Amino acid sequence: MSIGVGIIGAGVMGADHARLIRSHVSGAHLVAVADTDPARAREAAADARISTDPLELINGPEVQAVIVASPDHTHGDFVLAAIRAGKPVLCEKPLAATSEDCLRIIDAERTAGRKLVHTGYMRRYDPTYRELNATLKAGTLGKVRILHNQHRNRVAPDWFTPDMAVTNSFVHEIDISRWLLGTEFKAVTVVACGSDRPDVAADPLLITLEAENGALVSTEVFLNAGYGYHVHAEAVCERGGVRMGQPALTSVLFEGSDRAAFPANWIPRFADAYRLQDQAWVNAIHSGSLDADASSSWDGYMASYIAEKTLEAFKTGQRIELQVPRQTG
Ligand code: ISE
């Protein structure tokens, strides 16, 4: 049986999920796309039905599973509606606008009695992060002492608000660092460079997370790095280290130089991750569970909670201690 997928949002991410479900993921097919702009919905949907009403799409009888890829602040309500309709939902990050809203989602899932939510922290499926993770888990290098993350975008979109450096970009490092280190964090500090104006993003940010297991995580978030999209990680351990290789598969030797190209943005850089994530999500729906590597509603909550504390650290200039609640189910 093939699962009928409905997608909410036909912007960059919605269109990419639509392309993946239409042509690159087995066991599912695209049945509907909803967007406030019908022309954009039509382009992403190809032959599938279009709608301008996300709730109508969620409740459509042919929609068996939902992907939420609408603007960040709308995620929570659509995820709740999908849970109430009893439908598995893959939600682009962040899971909801606030950590409080994420807790409402966790409660709704509990009431439904099934794990229905996969939060789209797709780096967990990226082959490079997976190899790094496997090397760390093999144990030869010993415990991680410090994880250095670098998150550079070529340019911030003009609709980015100052907080989005954290709530839309840094949340990836929160999720992937928790996944790689298998620990929670106890404190966060931020040093910023750039603007003092609240309406203009300070850029870059240097964020330090202190882990409960003693490790440190340093992250540079630089939204206007200018030269390309560049995500990198290096773990320094007790007996050695492991770091990502070049962003490109090949480099060109020409006229005295060795040049490797950077991708323009996350879509080409994480093309494999998005495809493997969507396939894992569909496979898990067929098996009636959540994929073992998926970022769950709890993980989505943790990313949003730590993001809020990171913003507090940034705005107050203080080291903020985290009160991480224990997962209860
Ligand atoms: C964007 O929304 C993403 O999810 C990308 O993966 C991230 O690198 C970028 O900074 C975000 O704005």
How much is the pLDDT for 196? Answer: 61
Pocket test for ligand 1, best of 95, 168, 174, 223 (most atoms within 8 A of CB): 168
96 CB contacts (<8 Å, ≥6 apart)? Answer: 75, 76, 79, 102, 104, 105, 300, 304
> Parallel, antiparallel, or unpaired for β 49-51 and 3-8?
unpaired
Pocket test for ligand 1, best of 172, 205, 232 (most atoms within 8 A of CB): 172
Phi, psi of 198 (to 5 degrees): -65, -20
The tally of CA atoms less than 13 A away on the side-chain side of residue 307 is 30
Q: Coil, strand or helix: which one is 153?
A: coil
Q: Please tell me the least confidently modeled range out of 30-39, 170-179, 239-248.
A: 239-248
Residue 201 pLDDT grade (very low, low, confident, very high; cuts 50, 70, 90): confident
pLDDT tens, position by position, 313-323: 999 999 999 99
How much is the pLDDT for 249? Answer: 85
Q: Is residue 197 over pLDDT 70?
A: no
| CA-wise closest residue to 322 among 299, 302, 298, 300 | 302
d(CA 137, CA 121): 20
Ligand 1 pocket list (CB less than 6 A) = 153, 168-169, 172, 266
Q: Where do the structural domains in the chain lie, given as residue ranges?
A: 3-120, 124-269+304-321
Q: What is the mean pLDDT of the chain?
A: 96
266 alpha carbon to ligand 1 midpoint, in Å?
6
Q: Is residue 290 over pLDDT 70?
A: yes
Tokens of 326: 């224990």
How much is the pLDDT for 199? Answer: 65
Residue 202 pLDDT grade (very low, low, confident, very high; cuts 50, 70, 90): confident
Instruction: Indicate if 124-269+304-321 has the same CATH topology as 3-120.
Output: no
* Separation in Å, CA 239 to CA 211, 235, 242: 19, 11, 10
Tokens of 72: 């960040």
> Which amino acid is residue 179, in one-letter code?
W
Tokens of 189: 């500090």
How much is the pLDDT for 27? Answer: 98
8-state DSSP, 295: B
Q: Is residue 16 over pLDDT 90?
A: yes
Q: Which atom of ligand 1 is nearest to the CA of 223?
A: 10
Q: Is residue 329 over pLDDT 80?
A: no
* Fold of domain 3-120: Rossmann fold (3.40.50)
Rounded to the nearest 10°, the torsion over CA 56, 62, 64, 68 is: -40
pLDDT tens, position by position, 78-115: 999 999 999 999 999 999 999 999 999 999 999 999 99
| N-term to C-term CA, the chain | 30
Pocket test for ligand 1, best of 153, 203, 262, 269 (most atoms within 8 A of CB): 153
Q: Is residue 242 over pLDDT 80?
A: yes
Q: Work out the burial of residue 217: count CB atoms within 10 Å of its CB; fewer than 13 is exposed, 13-18 middle, 19 or more buried.
A: buried
298 alpha carbon to ligand 1 midpoint, in Å?
20
Q: Coil, strand or helix: which one is 198?
A: coil
> Parallel, antiparallel, or unpaired for β 230-237 and 241-243?
antiparallel
Write down the H helix ranges in the chain.
12-23, 38-45, 54-59, 75-84, 99-112, 127-138, 164, 171-181, 266-269, 271-287, 297-316
248 alpha carbon to ligand 1 midpoint, in Å?
19
> Which amino acid is residue 303, in one-letter code?
A
* Fold of domain 124-269+304-321: Dihydrodipicolinate Reductase; domain 2 (3.30.360)
How much is the pLDDT for 304? Answer: 98
| CA-wise closest residue to 165 among 136, 124, 206 | 206
pLDDT tens, position by position, 51-81: 999 999 999 999 999 999 999 999 999 999 9
2 alpha carbon to ligand 1 midpoint, in Å?
30
12 CB contacts (<8 Å, ≥6 apart)? Answer: 267
**Could you tell me how far CA 134 lies from the centroid of its own chain?**
20
Q: Is residue 180 over pLDDT 60?
A: yes
**Could you tell me how far CA 215 lies from the centroid of its own chain?**
22
Residue 325 pLDDT grade (very low, low, confident, very high; cuts 50, 70, 90): confident
Work out the average pLDDT over 258-285.
97
Q: Which atom of ligand 1 is nearest to the CA of 151?
A: 8
How much is the pLDDT for 11? Answer: 97
Shortest-distance Cα residue to atom 10 of ligand 1: 169
